[in-house]
């Protein structure tokens, strides 16, 4: 129970922040209170989670039960997989709240009471999601996360795009939740309990005796989670929703919220669904959907000129990498445990890495908006001259997401690529299946180069070139906005240079969630402080090695040599105006805007099918739908005239009648309230089994 003390402190701190920020109108004071509560929350939660990871234990805490009404228990259970996600939530939450403090100044027309209580509630619901072991309460926290994030999507309610994105998000995610609820009801009808342990027992029986129902259950679960994660074609809503809230909230969406859907997928496949032929079928489907999202999401991102929309499309592509690794692992872990664990480790490690650099990149876009009032890459340039810290952090985040060594994105992508191509070593699988996974790996390698091209466009358009005259030079970027970017950029570099820490934590997180007999960590990865090696079987020669320390040392030595040669040569330098072929041009006329990057490629991937316009293989213009009905049918499909208005008129008359009675009885109003309260309490106690 000692560990739970820190969890209680974290929960009380965030609840206190929600309560206080709900009543304080002053943005500065409200933001400061949010920072204090989130700092206590993040510190306690991190200490709690790191202890779980280091001790490799799991702990359980039963809060209360809903029996005899329903067999559901508010049961908290934290293993290494939960602890890893709690660390992600704690780190990103602190950076997001710290960034928000001064950033919300750009939304002067809106009260902070519309932001901080819902943001902190989103943090709390995210925690609940990863620590409960009861499906009913899992759905409760899932819905709480969806509602609070939806309120943040429509925060800027004066923008039509925000309302449109909010509607798409609300409808899509609730349709997905309906599938999860349907699966939960079916599983409860067999297990008569919402506890994960009891559900797993019933699923074993279903999988052995009813293959059609088993496939439907997995289908419902997969649809629910991949829709929330933004996997195409079910994540069509994401590019319209993620850019709408303030960038700090978008940072949590892209860095954490979409990853919690991946957590749900992992938890169900590792802890609830028995490994069987169903795992092989759905592992392949998950990997296929992942590759589809990698391809379409990333190429569509290349065609975007607005920074936050560009990040949103990359969120789709990056979750695709996670699903490729997870799907490959689920498919092969029973055939080849070494290959399966390398793939699963790569997928989960990419969750951690992406949560860091994706949060960072959204904060970079927010800083650009704070400074310039726009995130349109065609309207900004040369910002490195006035916001160098943001520029450096953006370069680190861009190289990390592109998988450039020695940053952290390279390591997780390396594991995913290696496992996709290493399937040829598995003799138990069909050749066509193995060939398909190799094609998946090749596509993901190619798209990684597209990711680099896309973020070269982002960095060059926003930070390089000449500073535009209309950009304000006097507004300094507050330290509270720079510090979170420096922290996240530092984590990208540190975990890239010293991967042994995150690798071991990730591997044990997967092992703790699965009941399979898996190879030990030391037999799959040979670790040292300089890097790691990969083994695809017991007593195999290392298939691959990666030593980022040696790479960075080589780069530093070569840079030092070049610097010394330059200083020794002492070559004269002169600054002159740019030569435009002998003709006078203003800098604006020859500026290379964001829209100008990769024009031939963008034209290649832009086309029309019938009347639907595609840009980057993504539909951007849908033709208007026109319908004509006969007059008799119009009466049927317009129930307002024959049902709604007459019904409402009768309801209004009833309320008028009740109001007239209320006017006669209002002197005894408080007495009626007391009597009514006693009746309600008596009813609740009676259905709960009596007062005693």
What is each CA distance from 12 to 102, 146, 164, 305, in whole angstroms? 25, 22, 35, 42
Give the integer Cα–Cα distance in Å for 324 and 264.
Answer: 16
The reply to whether 462 falls in a domain is yes
Average the pLDDT over 205-229 and give the result: 91
Q: Using 50, 70 and 90 to split pLDDT, how confident is the model at 622?
A: low
Average the pLDDT over 199-217 and give the result: 88
Q: Spell out the residues 6+ positions from residue 236 whose beta carbon is closer than 8 angstroms to its own.
A: 168, 172
Give the integer Cα–Cα distance in Å for 483 and 293.
Answer: 33
Give the integer Cα–Cα distance in Å for 16 and 74.
Answer: 21
Do 606 and 682 lie in a common domain?
A: no
Q: Using 50, 70 and 90 to split pLDDT, how confident is the model at 692?
A: very low
Handedness of CA 454, 459, 464, 466 (dihedral sign): positive
Do 497 and 459 lie in a common domain?
A: yes
Average the pLDDT over 290-317 and give the result: 91
The reply to whether 555 falls in a domain is yes
Do 563 and 662 lie in a common domain?
A: no
Q: Using 50, 70 and 90 to split pLDDT, how confident is the model at 691?
A: very low
Print the domain residue range for 674.
Answer: 642-687
Percentage of residues in the chain with pLDDT exceeding 70?
A: 86
Average the pLDDT over 103-124 and give the result: 89
Do 551 and 647 lie in a common domain?
A: no
The reply to whether 665 falls in a domain is yes
* Backbone φ and ψ of 233, nearest 5°: -85, 0
The reply to whether 245 falls in a domain is no
Do 661 and 622 lie in a common domain?
A: no
Overall domain count for the chain: 2
* Backbone φ and ψ of 159, nearest 5°: -90, 125
pTM of the model: 0.86
The reply to whether 461 falls in a domain is yes
Closest of 248, 255, 483 to residue 353, by C-alpha: 255
- Confidence check: pLDDT of 461 > 80: yes
- Confidence check: pLDDT of 624 > 90: no
Q: Spell out the residues 6+ positions from residue 438 whose beta carbon is closer than 8 angstroms to its own.
A: 420, 421, 423, 424
Q: Spell out the residues 6+ positions from residue 516 whose beta carbon is closer than 8 angstroms to its own.
A: 275, 333, 334, 337
Comparing 57-66, 112-121, 464-473, 681-690, the range with the smallest average pLDDT is: 681-690
Do 505 and 648 lie in a common domain?
A: no
Do 330 and 456 lie in a common domain?
A: yes
Q: Using 50, 70 and 90 to split pLDDT, how confident is the model at 185?
A: very high
pLDDT tens-digit series, residues 510-554: 988 888 888 888 888 887 787 888 887 776 666 678 888 888 888
- Confidence check: pLDDT of 84 > 80: yes
Angle at 98 between CA 96 and CA 238, to 5 degrees: 15
66: burial class by Cβ within 10 Å (0-12, 13-18, 19+)?
middle
Do 420 and 475 lie in a common domain?
A: yes
Give the integer Cα–Cα distance in Å for 248 and 481.
Answer: 10
The reply to whether 508 falls in a domain is yes
pLDDT tens-digit series, residues 348-403: 999 999 999 999 999 999 999 998 888 888 888 888 888 999 999 999 999 999 99
The reply to whether 399 falls in a domain is yes
Average the pLDDT over 451-476 and give the result: 80
Angle at 257 between CA 278 and CA 187, to 5 degrees: 35
Cα 302 to its chain centre, rounded Å, is 20
Give the integer Cα–Cα distance in Å for 274 and 62.
Answer: 25
Closest of 288, 294, 301, 234 to residue 261, by C-alpha: 234
C-beta separation of 548 from 406 below 8 A: yes
User: What pLDDT, on the 0 to 100 scale, is given for residue 685?
Assistant: 57
Q: Spell out the residues 6+ positions from residue 47 whose beta carbon is closer than 8 angstroms to its own.
A: 6
Do 409 and 455 lie in a common domain?
A: yes
User: What pLDDT, on the 0 to 100 scale, is given for residue 508?
Assistant: 92
Closest of 331, 318, 319, 346 to residue 283, by C-alpha: 331
Angle at 304 between CA 374 and CA 347, to 5 degrees: 110
517: burial class by Cβ within 10 Å (0-12, 13-18, 19+)?
exposed
C-beta separation of 296 from 235 below 8 A: no
Do 614 and 652 lie in a common domain?
A: no
pLDDT tens-digit series, residues 425-453: 776 667 788 888 899 999 998 898 899 98
Comparing 92-96, 294-298, 560-564, 663-667, the range with the smallest average pLDDT is: 663-667
Per-residue tokens: 273: 């669904």
Do 680 and 618 lie in a common domain?
A: no
Of residues 69 and 125, which shows the higher confidence score?
125
Angle at 274 between CA 268 and CA 277, to 5 degrees: 115
The reply to whether 445 falls in a domain is yes
Task: Give strand pairing partners of 546.
Answer: 532
Q: Using 50, 70 and 90 to split pLDDT, how confident is the model at 277?
A: confident
Percentage of residues in the chain with pLDDT exceeding 90?
A: 41
Do 564 and 673 lie in a common domain?
A: no
């Amino acid at each position: 129970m000692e560990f739970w003390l820190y969890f209680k402190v974290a929960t009380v701190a965030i609840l206190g922040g929600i309560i206080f920020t709900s009543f304080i109108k002053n943005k500065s004071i409200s933001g400061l209170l949010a920072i204090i509560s989130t700092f206590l929350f993040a510190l306690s939660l991190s200490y709690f989670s790191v202890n779980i990871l280091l001790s490799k234990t799991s702990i359980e805490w039963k809060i209360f039960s809903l029996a005899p009404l329903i067999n559901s228990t508010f049961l908290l259970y934290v293993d290494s997989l939960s602890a890893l996600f709690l660390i992600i939530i704690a780190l990103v939450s602190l950076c997001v709240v710290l960034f928000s403090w001064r950033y919300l100044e750009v939304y002067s027309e809106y009260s902070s009471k519309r932001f901080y209580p819902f943001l902190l509630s989103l943090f709390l619901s995210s925690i609940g999601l990863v620590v409960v072991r009861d499906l009913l309460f899992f759905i409760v926290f899932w819905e709480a996360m969806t509602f609070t994030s939806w309120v943040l999507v429509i925060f800027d309610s004066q923008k039509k795009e925000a309302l449109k994105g909010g509607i798409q998000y609300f409808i899509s995610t609730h349709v997905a939740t309906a599938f999860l609820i349907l699966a939960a009801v079916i599983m409860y009808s067999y297990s008569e309990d919402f506890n994960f342990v009891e559900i797993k027992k019933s699923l074993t029986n279903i999988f052995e005796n009813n293959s059609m129902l088993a496939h439907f259950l997995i289908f419902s679960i997969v649809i629910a989670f991949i829709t929330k994660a933004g996997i195409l074609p079910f994540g069509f809503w994401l590019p319209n929703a993620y850019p709408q809230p303030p960038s700090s909230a978008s940072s949590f969406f892209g860095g954490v919220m979409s990853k919690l859907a991946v957590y749900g997928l992992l938890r169900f496949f590792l802890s609830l669904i028995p490994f069987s032929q169903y795992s092989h079928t759905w592992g392949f489907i998950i990997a296929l959907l992942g590759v589809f999202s990698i391809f379409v999401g990333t190429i569509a991102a290349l065609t975007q000129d607005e920074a936050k929309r560009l990040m949103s499309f990359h969120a789709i592509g990056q979750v695709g990498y996670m699903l490729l690794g997870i799907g490959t692992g689920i498919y092969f872990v029973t055939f080849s445990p070494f290959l399966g664990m390398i793939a699963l480790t790569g997928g989960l490690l990419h969750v951690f890495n992406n949560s860091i650099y994706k949060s960072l990149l959204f904060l970079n876009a927010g800083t650009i908006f704070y400074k310039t009032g726009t995130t349109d890459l065609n309207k900004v340039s040369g910002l490195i001259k006035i916001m160098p810290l943001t520029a450096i952090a953006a370069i680190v985040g861009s190289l990390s997401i592109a998988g450039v060594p020695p940053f952290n994105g390279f390591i997780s992508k390396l594991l995913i690529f290696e496992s996709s191509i290493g399937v040829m070593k598995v003799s138990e699988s069909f050749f066509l299946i193995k060939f398909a996974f190799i094609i998946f790996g090749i596509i993901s390698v190619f798209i990684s180069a597209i990711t680099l091209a896309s973020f070269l466009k982002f960095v060059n358009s926003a930070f390089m070139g000449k500073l535009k005259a209309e950009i304000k030079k006097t507004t300094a970027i507050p330290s509270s906005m720079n510090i979170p970017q420096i922290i996240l950029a530092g984590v990208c570099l540190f975990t890239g240079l010293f991967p042994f820490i995150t690798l071991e934590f990730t591997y044990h997180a997967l092992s703790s969630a699965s009941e399979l007999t898996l190879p030990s960590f030391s037999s799959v990865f040979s670790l040292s402080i300089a890097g790691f090696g990969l083994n695809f079987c017991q007593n195999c020669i290392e298939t691959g090695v990666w030593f980022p320390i040696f790479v960075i040392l080589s780069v530093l030595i070569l840079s030092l040599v070049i610097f010394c040669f330059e200083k020794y040569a002492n070559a004269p330098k002169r600054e002159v105006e740019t030569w435009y072929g002998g003709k006078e041009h203003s800098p604006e006329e020859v500026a290379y805007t964001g829209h100008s990057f990769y024009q031939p490629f963008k034209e290649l991937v832009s086309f029309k099918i019938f009347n639907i316009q595609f840009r980057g293989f993504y539909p951007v213009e849908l033709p208007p739908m026109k319908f004509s009905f006969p007059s008799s049918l119009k009466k049927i499909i317009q129930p307002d005239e024959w049902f709604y208005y007459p019904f409402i008129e009768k309801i209004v008359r009833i309320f008028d009648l009740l109001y007239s009675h209320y006017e006669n009885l209002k002197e005894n109003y408080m007495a009626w309230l007391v009597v009514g309260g006693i009746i309600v309490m008596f009813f609740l106690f009676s259905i709960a089994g009596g007062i005693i």
